[in-house]
Chains A and B, each alone.
Chain A
Amino acid sequence: NAGVTQTPKFQVLKTGQSMTLQCAQDMNHNSMYWYRQDPGMGLRLIYYSASEGTTDKGEVPNGYNVSRLNKREFSLRLESAAPSQTSVYFCASKPSWSTDTQYFGPGTRLTVL
């Protein structure tokens, strides 16, 4: 099992450009999450999907959209990137029957110039 995979690993954008961060998990998990991590801060939840077909806002959703394409894939889209969105983005997943462990991907380091 690959676990949680994210693409790309690194990306540089110019202000105003758009892009989609991809996340996939092969563990048959129902719940998936997008976080951002900024220096000196913990992870902050952007959006999550408790099951296929549902999405909900987290703590910092402004400037982002998400799509739960199917049970495996959960993408994060920046429609018009801003320097404030420079961050490391992590995707995670969790079985719905558990309130325990979230499984994290390796992250995408995004720089917006």
Chain B
Amino acid sequence: SQQGEEDPQALSIQEGENATMNCSYKTSINNLQWYRQNSGRGLVHLILIRSNEREKHSGRLRVTLDTSKKSSSLLITASRAADTASYFCATLFGNEKLTFGTGTRLTIIP
């Protein structure tokens, strides 16, 4: 069964606005990762946050993690048309198996 559930399932915003998507998961984790998937392509790793971290930044990306609520959020600031993609959270417990959520489809309107 899916470990993570993203919310919302789909999001459309104007270029330049900020986009926020959320992920909830069910069990304890070692880390939580966010991946991007452009239409018809493989997944690309964006950012990882470890279970003992609360916030992490990478360029225009900001990820938060609340282990007490078993939830994470991904914020993309100053969105661009090229950010149009599906975004997946993935949780790691143990050393090998990533469990992916169902994804948020983000559309940036020029």
Give chain A's interface residues, CB within 8 Å of chain B.
4, 31, 33, 35, 40-45, 48, 50, 56, 58-59, 90, 92, 99-107
- A90 to B92 CA separation, bound complex (whole angstroms): 18
- A35 to B96 CA separation, bound complex (whole angstroms): 13
- A90 to B42 CA separation, bound complex (whole angstroms): 7
Q: A43 near B42 (CB under 8 angstroms)?
A: no
Q: A102 near B100 (CB under 8 angstroms)?
A: no
Q: B102 near A58 (CB under 8 angstroms)?
A: no
Residue B98 is within 8 A (CB to CB) of chain A in the complex: yes
- A43 to B45 CA separation, bound complex (whole angstroms): 14
Write out, one digit per residue, whether chain B residues 29-45 have a CB within 8 A of any chain A CB (1) or not (0): 01101000000111111
Interface residues on B, range: 20 to 34
Return the chain B residue nearest A50 by Cβ: B96
Question: How many contacts A-B (CB < 8 Å)?
Answer: 60
Give chain B's interface residues, CB within 8 Å of chain A.
1-2, 4, 30-31, 33, 40-45, 48, 88, 90, 92, 95-103
Q: Give, as a whole number of angstroms, the nearest-CB distance from A97 to chain B.
A: 10
- A84 to B88 CA separation, bound complex (whole angstroms): 23
Q: Give, as a whole number of angstroms, the nearest-CB distance from B97 to chain A.
A: 6
- A48 to B95 CA separation, bound complex (whole angstroms): 12
Of the candidates A102, A106, A107, which one forms a contact with B98 in the assembled complex, judged by CB atoms under 8 Å apart? A102
Instruction: Name 12 interchain pairs, CB-CB below 8 A, sorted by A.
Output: A31-B96, A40-B102, A41-B102, A42-B2, A42-B100, A42-B102, A90-B42, A100-B48, A102-B43, A102-B98, A104-B44, A107-B41
CB-CB < 8 A to B103: which residues of A? 42
Return the chain B residue nearest A100 by Cβ: B48
A100-B33 in contact given A45-B97, A50-B96 (Cβ < 8 Å): yes
Of the candidates B4, B40, B41, B45, which one forms a contact with A102 in the assembled complex, judged by CB atoms under 8 Å apart? B45
Return the chain B residue nearest A35 by Cβ: B100
